[in-house]
Structures are given as structure tokens and as C-alpha cells.
Amino acid sequence: MAKVLVLYYSAYGHIEKMAHAVAEGAREAGAHVDIRRVPETVPDDVAKSSHYKLDQAAPIARVDELETYDAIVIGTGTRYGRMTSQMASFLDQTGPLWARGALNGKVGGAFASTATQHGGQETTLFSIITNLFHLGLIPVGLPYSFQGQMKLDEVTGGSPYGATTIAASDGSRQVTENELAGARFQGKHIAEVATKLFG
């Protein structure tokens, strides 16, 4: 049974929903799955006045636990076409793991959210994937065998680099069923690949 970590940062709750969908897909493939979030770095008063979702139940992740997983799937919102500073700060602490090659050969994946349809979904995914490569993980995306990313009858997230959603600048647009299906598909695919590699 592969052991999968879904690691996320979510301001408005969209990535939190996507994280649970990724986990559902991985569990469907028979994996043991843990969901963890990175710490919030925004002051409490700013987070409250910005209407951040502050009741997220996932435990806070620790850098030293990353090496206990066969696969790590990272999700975050977007800031100017790149990952959030909260996720970047967490990943910046993985230097000791990198130095030891502790994550070499493990499976990785990325999922993201942007305010707008063209707000940097793929560049944000690549900012995560770049970290995965540097840490020695093998990135696995969302293949076109997930037909939902080829839909033309609705505005929808999703790319071959990872599942995505669109939140609107105020967080008012909710994750669609098609976007959740993409996240589940990717989670299952990553777990299947990890199982093939690690048994």
C-alpha cells in the first residue's frame, strides 16, 4: 500500500476542497493518505478581515515527516502566477531533506487555484513542479485520459500539469464537480504510480 501525503495551503477553502478530492482519489487506488496544511503566515487580524477560511481541520505539516511518504501531492493558491509565500516558506525549510536526498525517487504532484481563468494556473503548477524536481521527486500530472479537462461547454480548470480550479478574486466562485473530478483522477493516478514503484 502506497503512503501518500496531500500537502496544501488554502486561503478561501478552494484548495482545501481540492485536497480532499485528491485524497479521495488516492484512497480509491488503495493508498494510505494523510492530509496536512502548511502554517498560515498572515497575521490573524488581516486573515479575518480578508475573510480567509480559518476553520480548516487538517493538522499542520512538519518538514521532517515528508520523507515517510511514497508520494507527496502539493496544492496551493496563486500569487502573481507563482505559489503562495506560505507554501514557498514551508518548502524553503526542506534543505536538510534535499541535502540527504531523502525524497529522491518518490512521486510528486501539483494542483492549484487562481482568481481568474488566465491567472497563472500553469505557471503556479510549474513553480511547484520545479521544487519537486529539485527535491528529487518524480512529478506526475493529470493526463488527457481525464476527459474533463477537454470540456468546452463550461469554464473549467485543469491542465496536463495538474488539477486546478478558478476561485474569483474574492473567492466567490466555488470548485466545480468537473474540477473535483480532475483532482480525484490525479490523486488516484499518483497513488497508482506510487504503488507500482513501491508496492
Q: In the prediction, which pLDDT does 182 show?
A: 98
Q: Following CA atoms 42, 120, 150, 141 in sequence, which dihedral angle do they give, to the nearest 10 degrees?
A: -70
**Per CATH, which fold does 3-198 belong to?**
Rossmann fold (3.40.50)
Is 134 one of the annotated binding-site residues?
yes
> Annotation-wise, does 8 bind a ligand?
no
Residue reference for cell 515517510 = 68
* 51 is known to lie in a ligand binding site: no
pLDDT for the residue 51: 87
The pLDDT value recorded for residue 169 is 86
Q: Which of 147-151, 175-179, 190-194 has the lowest mean pLDDT?
A: 147-151
Q: What is the 3-state secondary structure (H, E, C) of the chain?
A: CCEEEEEECCCCCHHHHHHHHHHHHHHHCCCEEEEEECCCCCCHHHHHHCCCCCCCCCCECCHHHHHHCCEEEEEEEEECCEECHHHHHHHHCCHHHHHHCCCCCCEEEEEEEECCCCCCHHHHHHHHHHHHHHCCCEECCCCCCCHHHHCCCCCCCCECCEEEEECCCCCCCCCCHHHHHHHHHHHHHHHHHHHHHHC
Q: Is 118 annotated as a binding residue?
A: no
| 189 in a known ligand binding site | no
Q: Is 82 annotated as a binding residue?
A: no
Annotated binding-site residue? 13 = yes
Q: In the predicted model, is pLDDT for residue 176 greater than 80?
A: yes
pLDDT for the residue numbered 27: 98
Q: What integer best gives the mean pLDDT of the chain?
A: 96
Query: What pLDDT, in 10s, does the model give residues 25-62?
Result: 999 999 999 999 999 999 999 999 988 898 999 999 99
| Residue 171 banded pLDDT, cuts 50, 70, 90 | confident
